[in-house]
Chains A and B, each alone.
Chain A
Amino acid sequence: MGKETGQLLATWAALMALLAITVVAALAPIGPVKGLVNIAAAVVKAALIYWVFMHLKQVGGFLRIAAVGAAVWLLILGAMLYADISTRV
């Protein structure tokens, strides 16, 4: 088993662990924080997949921006939508 394969397996294990955490958090009676835990776990999972499986670890700076920059635009959409919906009368 090469070093690279080992890394992939470790990543997979981490992903599965995060999945377990999410499901447990969702079912446990821990109140509204569970929403945050779930989102956070999803973000970490996505980051792992992008970083390792999708080679962001290996590619250059601009490619990294190109790959995940769209998230910033989504945040714009979300923020402005929120600005409207939350303050409507």
Chain B
Amino acid sequence: MTDAVAHTPEEAHKGKDTAEERVSYLRAGHSLASWLTTTDHKRIAILYLIAITGFFFIGGSAAALMRFELISPHGMLLSNEGYSRAFTMHGVIMVWFFLIPSIPNTFGNFLIPLMIGAKDLAFPRLNLLSWYIYIIGGCFTLYALVGGGVDTGWTFYTPLSSLFANGHVVALVTAVFVAGFSSILTGLNFIVTIHTLRAPGMKWSRLPIFVWSHYATSLILVLATPVLAITLVLLAAERLFGIGIFNPALGGDPILFQHLFWFYSHPAVYIMVLPAMGVVSELVCAAARKRIFGYAFVAGASMAIAGVGFLVWGHHMFVAGESALAATIFSFLSLVVAVPSAVKVYNWTATLYKGDILLDPPFLFAMGFIGLFTVGGLTGLMLAMLAIDVHVHDTYFVVAHFHYIMVGGTVSAFFGALHYWWPKITGRMYSLTWGRIDAALIFFGFNLTFFPQFILGYLGMPRRYHVYDPSLQVWHVMSSAGASILAVGYILPFIYLYAALRSAKPAGPNPWGATGLEWTTASPPPKHNFDHPVQVTHEAYDYENAPQPGEHR
């Protein structure tokens, strides 16, 4: 099925479809089956978008529950166990079912072929398969959740998880294990696509930074995820059969589990932030209407982060009983990995210099990202300092650190991407005013939620506590108040973005006047992405020759 058929009566009544929309990928088949069996990367991206949004709200509900509980120092709503289950599900869902797939599997999936001028990813059916694998993993998670939850924390430390915890540890571990294969297949698909399907003229030095950072991310996905997979298998085997590899009573070593877990999970934090950095690089250039400052350095920094990121995992174990020598090495390497991040942050800032800056919603989100990521990253440096970490390890200081990067950083970038490419994905422009309000709301709510947690942490409030000293209540109340603002900030876009779908304002192919191949095709793009053969003649971010932003954008 292609053009102009089978509209819902409502749409036909409104009669607002543009010609582009009628031949777009969105209309290439209307049945549910046409979506569930699609191999079109753009449709799979939308399948992911729907799925991760669902998980974001489940994980967010757990966060809401925790923040509500923490208003009172005595624990008013949840039992100890209930609270443990809440943060475990929150962590697991947010990390593996929301944040890791968030930007790569939606925007990466949608945009990489468009940005390099390809018709699709290298292995379209594999792409669909990895969505199904992700969904199967998600079902295991939901089963573990509905079946009563798990109380181990997202880190599954042994021997608690293997010998002591009750609850559906094996189901949840299976969920993460399965979802891991989705990650591996997606990463593999991206690497192969970027290597083999670049359009004529799309040299490596002309790739958008977004593509570079996804390339780096994919390397981590392929090389780190299997380590987690096998570690979780060993954990399950330990729990089911008592094979003892992590059990000190049988001569095993629980610290070994932590090594393997973090060998994956530290690189995984770069899986979560590199795509966001890619998004922000696009947004900053589009905002400033300039070529990115130091293209080669920004691109190279992605690769450097991916590489050096594999060398620092031990900084999660400074007080866990790893040797002082290893701790010192890991501490040092953690400082090294900050250098490429510094390169990125400073280059983005320099890109804005003498720009022609648009203050539209996507760009506000991008600036929010830069600020919050910087705070999160620099507090990460504090954590990397051995003696400082001894004090703040496993306190709210750490919680604040990673929320600054993951929520303040990556989630902001995710929303920035959503606002930037929404017109491309759907063909419709949303209300910019509401978008700006939302960006401000999220920025403000975020800081109110998580800044107090730095103070709580330094005061010595351990994480995973739901009863605490009453003297700390003020900070927790502030944090919970911020979280409610944040919740509004996250729900709001659903209203105005949905409204945009129904509105009469077609976005046109290039509302922001941006460079990049994805803006040269229709919005929404046709099924095969480009109507004409693509030939690349310019480097990326050639804003000198870019069209002007649309009047009403």
Q: Which residues of chain A have a CB within 8 Å of any CB of chain B?
A: 62, 66, 70, 73, 76-77, 80-81, 83-89
CB-CB under 8 A from A88, the residues of chain B are: 321-323
Name the contact of B329 in the complex, choosing from A62, A70, A73, A83 (C-beta under 8 A): A83
CB-CB under 8 A from B310, the residues of chain A are: 73, 76
Tell me the complex Cα distance, A85–B256, Å.
Answer: 9
What are 26 contact pairs spanning A and B, CB under 8 A? A62-B195, A66-B191, A70-B223, A73-B310, A76-B310, A76-B311, A80-B259, A80-B314, A80-B326, A80-B330, A81-B259, A83-B325, A83-B326, A83-B329, A84-B255, A84-B259, A84-B322, A84-B323, A84-B326, A85-B323, A86-B323, A87-B323, A87-B325, A87-B326, A88-B321, A89-B324
* B68 in the interface (beta carbon within 8 A): no
* B227 in the interface (beta carbon within 8 A): yes
Tell me the complex Cα distance, A62–B195, Å.
Answer: 10
* B263 in the interface (beta carbon within 8 A): yes
Tell me the complex Cα distance, A76–B256, Å.
Answer: 15
The 3 closest A-B pairs by CB, nearest first: A84-B326, A87-B323, A88-B323
- Report whether B227 and A77 are in contact in the complex, using a CB–CB cutoff of 8 Å: yes
Most buried by B among A76, A81, A84, A85: A84
Q: Which residues of chain B have a CB within 8 Å of any CB of chain A?
A: 191, 195, 223, 227, 255-256, 259, 263, 310-311, 313-314, 321-326, 329-330
Chain B, Cβ-Cβ closest to A62: B195
Known contacts: A62-B195, A70-B223, A77-B263. The answer to whether A87 contacts B311 by CB under 8 A is no
Tell me the complex Cα distance, A84–B330, Å.
Answer: 10
Known contacts: A62-B195, A73-B310. The answer to whether A83 contacts B259 by CB under 8 A is no
- Report whether A80 and B311 are in contact in the complex, using a CB–CB cutoff of 8 Å: yes
CB-CB under 8 A from B195, the residues of chain A are: 62
Name the contact of B323 in the complex, choosing from A62, A70, A83 (C-beta under 8 A): A83
Tell me the complex Cα distance, A78–B287, Å.
Answer: 45
Tell me the complex Cα distance, A66–B330, Å.
Answer: 27
CB-CB under 8 A from B314, the residues of chain A are: 80, 84
CB-CB under 8 A from A81, the residues of chain B are: 256, 259
CB-CB under 8 A from B227, the residues of chain A are: 77
- Report whether A87 and B324 are in contact in the complex, using a CB–CB cutoff of 8 Å: yes
CB of B41, distance to nearest CB on chain A (Å) = 22
CB-CB under 8 A from B326, the residues of chain A are: 80, 83-84, 87
CB-CB under 8 A from B322, the residues of chain A are: 84, 88
Chain A, Cβ-Cβ closest to B333: A80
CB of A66, distance to nearest CB on chain B (Å) = 8
Chain B, Cβ-Cβ closest to A76: B310
Tell me the complex Cα distance, A61–B191, Å.
Answer: 16
CB-CB under 8 A from B330, the residues of chain A are: 80
CB-CB under 8 A from B325, the residues of chain A are: 83, 87
Most buried by B among A70, A73, A77, A80: A80
Tell me the complex Cα distance, A62–B321, Å.
Answer: 40
Tell me the complex Cα distance, A12–B223, Å.
Answer: 30
CB of A69, distance to nearest CB on chain B (Å) = 8
Other A-B pairs beyond A80-B259, A81-B256, A89-B324, 13, CB < 8 Å: A62-B195, A66-B191, A70-B223, A76-B310, A76-B311, A77-B263, A80-B326, A81-B259, A84-B255, A84-B326, A85-B323, A87-B324, A89-B323
Tell me the complex Cα distance, A84–B223, Å.
Answer: 22
CB of A6, distance to nearest CB on chain B (Å) = 33
Tell me the complex Cα distance, A83–B317, Å.
Answer: 13
Tell me the complex Cα distance, A89–B313, Å.
Answer: 20
Chain A, Cβ-Cβ closest to B192: A66
CB of A25, distance to nearest CB on chain B (Å) = 28
Chain B, Cβ-Cβ closest to A84: B326
CB-CB under 8 A from B255, the residues of chain A are: 84
Tell me the complex Cα distance, A87–B311, Å.
Answer: 18
Tell me the complex Cα distance, A86–B324, Å.
Answer: 11
Tell me the complex Cα distance, A87–B313, Å.
Answer: 17
Chain A, Cβ-Cβ closest to B267: A73
CB-CB under 8 A from A70, the residues of chain B are: 223
Chain A, Cβ-Cβ closest to B223: A73
Chain B, Cβ-Cβ closest to A89: B323
CB-CB under 8 A from A76, the residues of chain B are: 310-311
Tell me the complex Cα distance, A66–B310, Å.
Answer: 17
CB-CB under 8 A from A83, the residues of chain B are: 323, 325-326, 329
Tell me the complex Cα distance, A54–B311, Å.
Answer: 30
CB-CB under 8 A from A73, the residues of chain B are: 223, 310
CB of B336, distance to nearest CB on chain A (Å) = 14
CB of B26, distance to nearest CB on chain A (Å) = 35
Tell me the complex Cα distance, A88–B326, Å.
Answer: 9
Chain A, Cβ-Cβ closest to B313: A80
CB-CB under 8 A from B259, the residues of chain A are: 80-81, 84
Tell me the complex Cα distance, A7–B458, Å.
Answer: 67
CB-CB under 8 A from A62, the residues of chain B are: 195
Chain A, Cβ-Cβ closest to B259: A81
